[in-house]
């Protein structure tokens, strides 16, 4: 199969990242169809895409015709029949192996083309295990985007145990057509980027635990000493991602070693419901008005 901007792209699960993937495809000239089981999520997500594009128009980064052309390339629905003629399906449902497997079984049964690529945007789960429920594991790979997808230039292409060279080449080409830079990762927990990030964050948490430095000083150190745009604690607060960090590092600790286990004080934040900025508290306190 030739990868071009005319192929039929289908995104399954249009939550936070799925809808961002839809926007990125449409912005780079692809027609894209997004499906979700939840109509409310579709409506809210589309509103957000319209707002994002209007912001670009108001900043003079695109004109109103371009915005309308991008929106006209997006189709969204709770109907999964459009999967039948898909050339590429990108799955972005919840980060849960059972949900992923159920979704891939459904995709595999619905998609007619023998050549179609079945891709997952998982951040941490095994591509080989997801592929095992399909009749075409050679055409299953990871296509891991970074949020916000229209802005972030990186795509991790993840090769499962049975993924073919042809599939890897096609996914890389698709990423390039979106204006992204692909890097290739083997199927290993956290792949390349989240493995580096989670290792840094676990060490940062141990630095605090051992009284070597405070949360605020670790973040300042990462920004001013390492040149990172945000420190690790600020980042997970911003993403409201402390529970997910805890979940993923537990899995990475099982697979890769105890260096990925978060100290108890971070686990206690999760138990106390301190998920990050939106919950009012995370590594920092946002509960006071105006802070």
Ligand X SMILES: NC(=O)c1ccc[n+]([C@@H]2O[C@H](COP(=O)([O-])OP(=O)(O)OC[C@H]3O[C@@H](n4cnc5c(N)ncnc54)[C@H](O)[C@@H]3O)[C@@H](O)[C@H]2O)c1
Residue in the structure block whose two tokens are 């990871």: 142
123 binds ligand X (CB under 6 A): yes
Interface residue with ligand X, options 9, 11, 12, 117 (CB under 6 A): 12
147 binds ligand X (CB under 6 A): yes
Comparison of 56 and 197: residue with beta carbon closer to ligand X: 197
Only segment of 22-30, 61-69, 116-124, 131-139 that touches ligand X (CB under 6 A): 116-124
Burial 244-274 (b: 16+ CB within 10 A, else e): bbbebbebbbeebeeebbbeeebbebbeeeb
Tell the smallest beta-carbon distance from residue 14 to ligand X (Å).
6
Could you confirm whether 144 is annotated as catalytic? Answer: yes
Interface residue with ligand X, options 4, 5, 6, 37 (CB under 6 A): 37
Choosing from 20, 124, 126, 156, the catalytic residue is 156
- With a CB cutoff of 8 Å and minimum separation 6, the contacts of 61 are none
Interface residue with ligand X, options 93, 118, 140, 275 (CB under 6 A): 93
Q: What is the number of other CB atoms lying within 10 angstroms of the CB of residue 168?
A: 17
The tally of CA atoms less than 13 A away on the side-chain side of residue 119 is: 30
Please give the residue whose beta carbon sits closest to ligand X in the complex.
15
Tell the smallest beta-carbon distance from residue 165 to ligand X (Å).
24
126 binds ligand X (CB under 6 A): no
Q: For residue 117, give Cα distances in angstroms to 176, 243, 269.
A: 16, 32, 40
99 binds ligand X (CB under 6 A): yes
- Using a 10 angstrom Cβ sphere, with 0-12 exposed, 13-18 middle and 19 or more buried, the burial of residue 223 is middle
Could you confirm whether 194 is annotated as catalytic? Answer: yes
């Amino acid at each position: 199969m030739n990868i071009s901007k005319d192929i039929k792209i289908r995104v399954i699960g249009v939550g936070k990242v799925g809808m961002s993937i839809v926007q990125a495809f449409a912005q780079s000239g692809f027609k894209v169809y997004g499906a979700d089981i939840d109509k409310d999520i579709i409506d809210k997500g589309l509103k957000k895409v319209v707002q994002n594009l209007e912001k670009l128009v108001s900043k003079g980064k695109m004109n109103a015709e371009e915005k309308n052309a991008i929106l006209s390339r997006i189709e969204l629905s709770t109907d999964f029949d459009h999967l039948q003629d898909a050339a590429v399906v990108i799955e972005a449902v919840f980060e849960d192996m059972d949900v992923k497997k159920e979704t891939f079984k459904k995709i595999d049964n619905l998609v007619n083309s023998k050549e179609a690529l079945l891709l997952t945007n998982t951040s941490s789960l095994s591509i080989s295990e997801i592929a095992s429920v399909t009749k075409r594991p050679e055409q299953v790979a990871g296509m891991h985007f970074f949020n916000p997808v229209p802005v972030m230039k990186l795509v991790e292409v993840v090769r499962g145990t049975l993924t073919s060279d042809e599939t890897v080449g096609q996914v890389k080409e698709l990423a390039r057509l979106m204006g992204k830079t692909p890097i290739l990762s083997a199927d290993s927990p956290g792949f390349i980027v989240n493995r580096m990030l989670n290792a840094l964050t676990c060490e940062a948490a141990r630095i605090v635990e051992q009284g070597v430095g405070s949360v605020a000083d670790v973040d300042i150190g990462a920004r001013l000493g390492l040149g990172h745009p945000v420190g690790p604690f600020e980042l997970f607060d911003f993403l409201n991602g402390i529970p997910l960090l805890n979940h993923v590092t537990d899995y990475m600790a099982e697979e890769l070693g105890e260096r990925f286990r978060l100290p108890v004080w971070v686990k206690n934040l999760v138990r106390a419901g301190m998920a990050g900025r939106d919950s009012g508290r995370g590594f920092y306190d946002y509960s006071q008005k105006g802070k």
